[in-house]
């Protein structure tokens, strides 16, 4: 894993413009427009950019399909201006909607498990147990595989992101 640059010797407006003009921009990996799906297929760069506000954004790996990228980690950045330069605080995480979806799904699976517990304690195997096991396994496997493969794709795109950010203070380069 690598640490992205935290200080860019350029004003925030220039950084916003540079990111938006060089990386495929989308409004959501979960709810793309048809135009975004076409752009995703036609794009050649390894990254996508999603702005959540003027100062907050996510940079994620542009995998073979947008749906695969839903379960891949992103670099969430927050821009602040500091003495004519731009400071960026970074967090590596899953997209917000993915996190919420997985959290909600975990709650549903736990409630479903609680309904199957009394019959199991009585020695009866509930008919829904195989489906529950399959869904529980997929709820663990999807983010694990996405985190591994998407995380690797994000790490592989590090040199491009560093180049795009330009004159940057890059701590601990280790890619």
Please give the structure tokens belonging to residue 170: 């890059």
Provide mean pLDDT across the span 53-59: 93
Q: What is the Cα–Cα distance from 140 to 148, expressed in whole angstroms?
A: 12
DSSP H or E stretch at residue 169: strand 168-169
Largest CA distance in the chain: 69
Q: Are residues 38 and 66 in the same domain?
A: yes
Q: Are residues 126 and 86 in the same domain?
A: no
pLDDT at 139: 86
Asked whether residue 42 is domain-assigned, the answer is yes
Asked whether residue 105 is domain-assigned, the answer is yes
C-beta of residue 86 within 8 angstroms of C-beta of residue 79: yes
Q: What is the Cα–Cα distance from 94 to 70, expressed in whole angstroms?
A: 8
What digits encode the pLDDT tens for the residues 13-38?
988 998 999 899 999 999 999 999 99
pLDDT at 162: 84
Residue 20's domain spans which residues?
7-95+150-167
Q: Are residues 82 and 131 in the same domain?
A: no
The dihedral built from the CA positions of residue 50, 54, 57 and 59, taken in this order, carries a sign that is positive
What digits encode the pLDDT tens for the residues 57-113?
999 999 988 888 999 999 999 999 988 888 899 999 999 999 999 999 999 989 988
For residue 68, give the CATH number of its domain.
3.30.310
Q: What is the Cα–Cα distance from 148 to 143, expressed in whole angstroms?
A: 8
Asked whether residue 174 is domain-assigned, the answer is no
170 — pLDDT class (breaks 50, 70, 90)? very low
C-beta of residue 116 within 8 angstroms of C-beta of residue 132: yes
Residue among 95, 89, 105, 110 nearest 146 (CA)? 95
DSSP H or E stretch at residue 91: strand 85-93
Q: Are residues 80 and 103 in the same domain?
A: no
């Amino acid at each position: 894993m690598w640490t992205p640059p935290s200080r860019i010797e350029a004003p925030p407006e220039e950084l916003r413009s540079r990111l938006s003009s060089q990386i495929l921009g989308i409004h959501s990996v979960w709810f793309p427009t048809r135009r975004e799906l076409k752009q995703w297929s036609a794009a050649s760069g390894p990254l996508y950019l999603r702005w959540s506000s003027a100062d907050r954004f996510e940079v994620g790996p542009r995998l073979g399909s947008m749906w695969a990228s839903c379960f891949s980690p992103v670099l969430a950045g927050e821009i602040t201006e500091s003495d004519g330069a731009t400071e960026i605080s970074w967090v590596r995480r899953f997209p917000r909607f993915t996190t919420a979806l997985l959290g909600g799904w975990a709650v549903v699976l736990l409630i479903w498990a609680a309904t199957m517990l009394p019959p199991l304690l009585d020695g009866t195997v509930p008919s829904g147990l195989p489906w529950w096991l399959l869904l529980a396994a997929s709820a663990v496997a999807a983010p694990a595989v996405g985190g591994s493969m998407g995380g690797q794709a994000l790490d592989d795109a590090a040199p491009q992101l560093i180049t795009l950010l330009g004159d940057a203070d890059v701590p601990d380069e280790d890619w």
